[in-house]
Amino acid sequence: MQNYEWASVDDAPVRELFPGISLRSLWTNGVASAHVLRMDPGSCWEGIDVHDPGPEEVYVVDGVFNDGIRDYPAGSFIHAPAGSSHVPQSEKGCTLFLFYPEG
């Protein structure tokens, strides 16, 4: 039998990060973590999101995500290396799966 860990997005507690931007934490092992981020239409991250100490992996589940420079439609994968930064926003709204392999 596998020692799988699993979580349902619907059961994960919701934490509002900024107006119109909410996070549901799905899993962590103390270092790496996985989350679902929902951005309402017209929402924008307050300040600059800096990827430290490690990279951020983003999969756009639905809607259109914008990193402050370009749009990424549903189905897009983004690797943001450690030390990179962006200003997350969404004109139309979106749902993102986020993975932080190094915290």
Is 47 a member of any domain? yes
Domain at 26, CATH number: 2.60.120.10
- Using DSSP's 3-state secondary structure scheme, residue 89 falls into strand
pLDDT, residue 92, reads: 97
Q: In whole angstroms, what is the distance from residue 67 CA to residue 90 CA?
A: 8
Low-confidence ranges of the chain (pLDDT < 70): 1
Q: Coil, strand or helix: which one is 41?
A: coil
pLDDT tens digits, 59-78: 999 999 999 999 999 999 99
The predicted pLDDT at position 3 comes to 86
92/1 Cα distance (integer angstroms): 43
18/49 Cα distance (integer angstroms):
12
Q: Is residue 6 part of a domain?
A: no
Domains of the chain: total = 1
Closest CA to 93 of 16, 11, 12, 21: 21
